[in-house]
Structure 1
């Protein structure tokens, strides 16, 4: 009997929880979930999920761990490691976090937001392991739950009606075996989890496509304290979003030397605004959640790296620069 492929999902937040849940239905893959700050709730109560696409459920991971050491004590090697940690290169190195679990042949898949997230992984593992850059187009967030009497009762995942993953190899070279291995995982995501997955040779084009929404709604939501839908209904914040989106389009097209693919019909700022207006469930960004809880935000990969590329390519991005400086000041105020 052929052994099952071993998958480790590192990060128990919105994306990590959703991916682990969908792949947990597989009969050919086993899933281990590693989470730190969310470990206690998941251990005690599982992950409550409301999903327009998949229905409602409570996901109880078969294999749950708080640390990498715990995970490798349970399974000495993994075929796949899915990294869903927040990308905070100014705080910690995500590649170092997973290093003990990476063995010969382990495929590393990066489900992280922003631009330039692949670099630390390529530097540490790129010569010996396939590194895959993954872009997820999905509306999912953690939200607080209320029990009877209005008391907060932990959190749940709220997921919309659409999930798509686009991926490509970050390594300069990869083998046919690597490609087949990625196909096998994505075929299982499709079969058992109902997630639309595709492999692209120009993955950075799609990473920039997602940046249109990520790089605008995230930082603006920190200033506004509003959901994405509320921001586009507010005259001042709607204009701010449009201005930032226009800058991201300009940087993206300079970097990739062409047009973005227009995923979900997002071909310009007005189309991006219309897309947000069409999302049924309220969307609160991860940056807003981090800011409200006085946690470090993904300012480097969402704003600083694109700003650096804008400067390299001679693109003016005054709104992005202003947002970056504003978010740094907000973080500095945490300690006061």
Structure 2
């Protein structure tokens, strides 16, 4: 597992509970805490626990030298193509027998991996989960976890064996209480999640700290969110040529904001947390890449363009 934050930590924990699976994890900012004390997890779905990974490394190179080659490399890094290339960071751990599984948010995350690893299967996975790292190695998880995965690319003639390999990984997650499905075309699920990611993330930054529930309770902010979501619905259907799957009953902007309002505990977006900590935000995969697709497909997305301009200026302001 590359990336030991909230997403990486919670899913590494679930995988590690299978007796036939060994999971090592590469951590960055929380390395010292996870290395010495593991993860302290408070999960509404799975209960309380302490998860001590099999091995914890500071770098991919250390992990590859000690244990490689790997059957699976799960990438749970933040997708920040304007800062670094995630595919380059994972390269030391990947060979032709490795399946690269992307647990990253956003649109267009797969292509750097396909270009760098043409002989390696690349899986795109969309996670529907509410989990936060409240402090280094301290995870708070809600009552739901779902994964939707699909083979984005694989070497010619290897589809059957790689489909079976992905099926095994999915079954391990299911055996440990995580809902996991495999789709021939995963992109409608990625756009489904983007309905919330592409709207609440940038708007929360501009709202200077509001929770998602606070935003939908304000009539003006709710209207803005629904207008941005409407752009995402139109664009996603144009790009994929398919309807969205309707996860969590989200079938239009109104049902999306109703869903947000029904969540019982305050939800703060990852982009907001990054902004508050003055870290780079996932603005490119959340906004820039979809905007580029909109221009390619002739779809008008003025609100997304405005949000991108504003969050870019906010980030540049605190990084100067």
Mean Cα deviation higher: 165-174 or 296-305: 165-174
Establish whether residue 238 from structure 1 lines up as the match of residue 222 from structure 2. yes
- The corresponding residue for 2:119 is 128
- The answer to whether the Cα contact below 8 Å between 1:232 and 1:277 also exists between their aligned partners in 2 is yes
Is 1:161 paired with 2:138?
no
**Matched residue of 2:92: which SS?**
helix
Aligned to 1:4: none
**CA offsets per residue over residues 163-198 of structure 1, 9 Å max, x none?**
11001111165421111111111111111x211111
CA contact (8 A) 2:294 2:300 kept: yes
> Are the counterparts in 1 of residues 123 and 151 from structure 2 also a CA contact under 8 Å?
yes
Asked if structure 1 preserves the Cα contact closer than 8 Å seen for 2:204 and 2:272, the reply is yes
Q: Which of 51, 55, 66 matches 1:63?
A: 55
C-alpha contact 2:38 2:137 (8 A) present in aligned 1: no
Partner of 1:138: 129
User: TM-score normalised to the size of structure 1?
Assistant: 0.91
Look up the match of 2:300: 316
2: CA distance, partners of 1:247 / 1:19: 31
CA distance in 2, matches of 1:14, 1:299: 19
Q: Which residue in 2 is equivalent to 1:151?
A: none
Range 166-175 or range 115-124, more displaced: 166-175
- Counterpart selection for 2:100 from 89, 99, 108: 108
Deviations along 1:62-90, whole A, 9 cap, x unmatched? Answer: 21011012111220210000000000111
**1:216 maps to which of 199, 221, 234:** 199
Please give the alpha-carbon distance, in whole angstroms, between the structure 2 residues aligned to 1:252 and 1:76. Answer: 38
Question: Per the alignment, in what secondary structure is the counterpart of residue 56 of structure 1?
Answer: strand
Counterparts in 2 of 1:142 and 1:237: CA distance versus 1, 3 Å: farther
Give how far 1:45 is off: 2.8
Of 166-175 and 318-327, more deviation after overlay is shown by 166-175
Q: 2:75 aligns with which of 56, 78, 83?
A: 83
Query: Displacement of 1:155 after TM fit?
Result: 5.9
Aligned equivalents of 1:282 and 1:115: distance in 2?
26
Per-residue CA distance 1:231-282 (angstroms, 9 max, x = gap): 1112222121111101101111111223211111100011001111222222
Q: Report if aligned partners of 1:141, 1:158 keep a CA contact under 8 Å in 2.
A: yes
Mapped partners of 1:212, 1:76: distance in 2: 37
Structure 1 residues 106-115 or 239-248, which shifts more? 239-248
CA gap of 1:81–1:155, structure 2 versus 1, over 3 A, is: closer
Equivalent-residue separation in structure 2 for 1:271 and 1:137 (angstroms): 16
- Please report the RMSD computed on the Cα atoms of aligned residues, expressed in angstroms: 1.3
Q: 1:176 aligns with which of 149, 156, 160?
A: 160
Please give the alpha-carbon distance, in whole angstroms, between the structure 1 residues aligned to 2:55 and 2:195.
Answer: 36
Could you tell me which residue of structure 1 aligns to residue 185 of structure 2? 202
Q: What secondary structure, in the 3-state scheme, does the structure 2 residue paired with 1:29 have?
A: coil
Q: Distance in 2 between matches of 1:197 and 1:211?
A: 18
> Of the candidates 3, 6, 12, which is equivalent to residue 20 of structure 1?
12
2:212 maps to what in 1?
228
CA 36–155 in structure 1, closer or farther in 2 if over 3 Å, else same: closer
Contact kept in structure 2, 1:141 and 1:285, CA below 8 Å: no
Question: How far, CA to CA, are the matches of 1:129 and 1:206 in structure 2?
Answer: 23
Match of residue 66 from structure 2:
74
